[in-house]
Amino acid sequence: MATSPVAVVCVGMAGSGKTTFMQRINNYLHVNKTKPYVLNLDPAVLTVPFQPNIDIRDSINYKEVMKQYNLGPNGGILTSLNLFATKIDQIITLLEKRANPAPDSKVAPPKHFLVDTPGQIEVFVWSASGSILLESLASSFPTVIAYIIDTPRTSSTSTFMSNMLYACSILYKTKLPMILVFNKTDVQDAEFAREWMTDFEKFQEALHEEENKGVFGGEGFGGSGYMGSLLNSMSMMLEEFYSHLSMVAVSSMTGDGIDDFFAAVEEKRKEFERDYRPELDKRRKEREAESATKREQELTKVMRDMNVNARPKAPEKSVAKEESSDEEDDDDANDPDNYPDAERDDEDEEGLKRRYTNALREQGIVVDVDDPTVAQMMAQIQRSVR
């Protein structure tokens, strides 16, 4: 059985080398004869150093969005993503067709979907459109988050801890496997980060050294020991968090560590199938059950408002009527014009469906008569009115 392609979603702070990293891993896969399928979700980028198969810029004009909606740069990116998210069903269909080509197709299915995201990380991770895109990907393919970190900028304990807290928030927001990618190791080695993540005492030593150097400022803030105490507390809190992450050190410029990255991707793919897939399936079934219950409640309310279960009451006979002949009573009873809303026994099932569908449409509700829930309610209504 063929393995489903894994989606690698690259996120990172502006300037962390995310786009260069995308170029490197794309080139690596091409060299190894495993051509990936690339998506660019950054609407504001002018040029990218790789050829995306799906590009948000092909369907969304970022500058036009800013002009039309009177938005700034971040608002323009967010609105562009929101507009693009409306096409997510088409995107997933394309990816599924690419992952499962026709038997006679000469194009081999990709093993990786590479997704580049906007440099404004919060616009993608914390927006509704970002959640829709990630959840849609994860519902169809194993999905891994690659969090790109600028290693030279993370060499101090405070910036390191800030990155770890951000990574922690992304992990629990997306609920997807994550790889910490310490980039730019050609400028500074990332071994210090590995030590800080695996050895609590090493981080304590670095923290005390920075305190002695006065890195955290003078008296009143750093001098009072507040910053050191805060970082110390956070490092203890995140010790458990580190155990759920994979950490790799790479250089997008030289290509060092890319082998380790794809080895980590494979491990996270297995972790996704083992730990994350059952939870996603459970959440999806809960949403479907909740949606079906809500739809049934709405239909029941509408039917009740329409009084479809109530039989029309026959008019009370007056004394004069009672004195009339039996023949006249029989004629009135058989006259359908006296009961225009009454059910006819000879009405077929299709006619009943059509009548209730039209009534619901007048109430502003469009239903599928072939839906099992709707069909069941139609049957109940049909039994109750006959």
Q: pLDDT tens across 289-308, in order?
A: 887 888 778 777 776 766 54
pLDDT at residue 278, rounded to an integer: 80
Cβ atoms of 184 and 48 closer than 8 Å: no
The torsion angle over the Cα atoms of residues 129, 147, 255 and 16, rounded to 10 degrees, is 90
**What is the value of pTM for the model shown?**
0.72
pLDDT at residue 310, rounded to an integer: 46
CA angle 382, 362, 383 (to 5 degrees): 5
pLDDT at residue 212, rounded to an integer: 81
Cβ atoms of 26 and 114 closer than 8 Å: yes
pLDDT band at 375 (very low <50, low <70, confident <90, very high): low
pLDDT of 377 over the 90 cut = no
3-state helix, strand, coil in the chain (%, to 5): 55, 10, 35
pLDDT of 79 over the 60 cut = yes
pLDDT band at 251 (very low <50, low <70, confident <90, very high): very high
| Span 170-197, average pLDDT | 92
pLDDT of 372 over the 80 cut = no
What's the count of helices (H) and strands (E) in the chain, helices before strands? 17, 7
pLDDT of 102 over the 90 cut = no
pLDDT of 40 over the 70 cut = yes
pLDDT at residue 253, rounded to an integer: 93
pLDDT of 158 over the 60 cut = yes
Nearest to 76 by CA among 87, 65, 86: 65
pLDDT at residue 248, rounded to an integer: 96
pLDDT of 156 over the 60 cut = yes
| Span 164-175, average pLDDT | 89
pLDDT of 1 over the 50 cut = no
Cβ atoms of 57 and 38 closer than 8 Å: no
Inter-CA distances, 352 with 344, 376, 383, Å: 10, 13, 12
Inter-CA distances, 237 with 104, 174, 215, Å: 54, 20, 23
pLDDT of 318 over the 60 cut = no
Laid out side by side, the sheet with 37-40 consists of: 54-55, 37-40, 112-116, 6-12, 143-150, 178-183, 246-249
pLDDT at residue 384, rounded to an integer: 54
pLDDT of 111 over the 60 cut = yes
Q: What fold characterizes domain 6-215+227-270?
A: Rossmann fold (3.40.50)
Looking at per-residue pLDDT, the higher value among 47 and 346 belongs to 47
Cα atoms found within 13 Å of the Cα of residue 2, Cβ hemisphere only: 11
pLDDT at residue 319, rounded to an integer: 46
pLDDT at residue 298, rounded to an integer: 78
pLDDT band at 369 (very low <50, low <70, confident <90, very high): low
| Span 179-197, average pLDDT | 93
pLDDT band at 378 (very low <50, low <70, confident <90, very high): low
| Span 354-381, average pLDDT | 63
pLDDT band at 133 (very low <50, low <70, confident <90, very high): very high
pLDDT at residue 260, rounded to an integer: 95
The least confident of 82-86, 87-91, 211-215 is: 211-215
> What is the Cα–Cα distance from 183 to 23, expressed in whole angstroms?
13
Q: Which residues on neighbouring strands pair with residue 60, listed in sequence order?
A: none
Beta strands in 151-308 (DSSP E): 178-183, 246-249
pLDDT of 36 over the 90 cut = yes
pLDDT at residue 61, rounded to an integer: 94
Residue with tokens 């910036």: 159
pLDDT at residue 78, rounded to an integer: 92
pLDDT band at 339 (very low <50, low <70, confident <90, very high): very low
pLDDT at residue 370, rounded to an integer: 65
Looking at per-residue pLDDT, the higher value among 67 and 282 belongs to 67
Nearest to 163 by CA among 133, 196, 187: 196
